[in-house]
Amino acid sequence: MFIALEGLDGCGKSTQLRALAQRLQQSKMDPVIVQEPGGTPVGEEIRHILLHREELKMAPLTELLLYEASRSELTETVIRPALASGRWVLTDRYSLSSVAYQGYGRGLDLRLVRELNRIATGGLDPQMTFLIDVPVEVALQRKGRARDRLEGSGVEFYERVRRGYLTEISRISGGVLLDGQKEIAALSEEVWGYIRPLVAAPS
């Protein structure tokens, strides 16, 4: 299984990813956990440019291509080999982030974003994608003072990203919309409710 968690910065997906990983480990599974952008040596360099070098201004298409380069490297060198060896892969963000942030958020043509996603992933899509939805205000509050290039983009940008996520999640195969304002434990129980039936019963 290949499972993605998506949502605004501060929606709580990293917490839910850890909780899910823990449940899988308790079920005697050994999932591979990855994060975008990053997760490979080249990807971590790209991550640094994208998120920690605010002084580097770049055009939206350049930004998209950097996310896609990171995604391509991660897919080719980590995700595909892990899936081929029979392991599960959990990812903190994947192609849908580019659709939401660079497409809906930055205003790049959605067909272009989808086409570059397809090229970068070789057509690999998660079997399940959980969108942890929270209002923009809540997301920004939870992020506190932490800022990066994207958070510098303002509330309107995040409203477009959220609307994009909500539009897309109902259209993609295996998409699940979750209410990120629920208690952490209740939410992880809900996620597990979707995943547990897919975990083979121990023999």
The contact set with ligand TYD (CB under 6 A) reads 9, 14, 35-37, 51, 67, 93, 97-98, 101-102, 150
Return the residue nearest ligand TYD (CB atom).
101
- Choose between 147 and 196: whose C-beta lies nearer to ligand TYD: 147
- Choose between 27 and 114: whose C-beta lies nearer to ligand TYD: 114
- Choose between 80 and 149: whose C-beta lies nearer to ligand TYD: 149
- Choose between 72 and 98: whose C-beta lies nearer to ligand TYD: 98
Q: How far is CA 198 from CA 1, 46, 201, in A?
A: 9, 34, 9
Exposed / middle / buried, residue 132 (Cβ in 10 Å: 0-12, 13-18, 19+): buried
b/e sequence 52-82, b meaning 16+ C-beta within 10 Å? eeeeeeeeeeebbbbbbbbbbbbbeebbbeb
